[in-house]
């Protein structure tokens, strides 16, 4: 499978965002996911993580957070 340069750029920002997210740096993570979306506006995973970052910025997870996201609605 050949990955375009555009998609490689998306992946760089997405992976950086994911690393920041797992480190509880939700504001910084959100910015990386937004950069990925600026390149590829239909990137579903980046959209999802932006929503999760917003949730955790508003209501941070507990100190013993294991990275699992608990959905609040169905």
What tens digit of pLDDT does each residue of 22-34 get? 999 999 999 999 9
User: What backbone torsions phi and psi does residue 64 show, to the nearest 5 degrees?
Assistant: -90, 20
pLDDT of residue 67: 83
Q: Is the backbone of residue 32 left (phi > 0), alpha (psi -120 to 50) or beta? A: alpha
Residue 73 has pLDDT above 70, yes or no: no
Domain extents for the chain? Answer: 5-58
pTM score of the predicted model = 0.90
pLDDT digits (tens, 9 = 90+) for 1-60: 787 999 999 999 999 999 999 999 999 999 999 999 999 999 999 999 999 999 999 999
């Amino acid at each position: 499978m050949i990955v375009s340069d555009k998609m490689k750029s998306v992946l760089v920002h997405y992976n950086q965002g994911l690393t920041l997210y797992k480190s509880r740096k939700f504001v910084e993570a959100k910015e990386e996911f937004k950069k990925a979306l600026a390149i590829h506006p239909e990137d579903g995973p980046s959209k999802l993580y932006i929503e999760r970052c917003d949730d955790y910025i508003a209501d941070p997870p507990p100190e013993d957070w294991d990275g699992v996201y608990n959905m609040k609605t169905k």
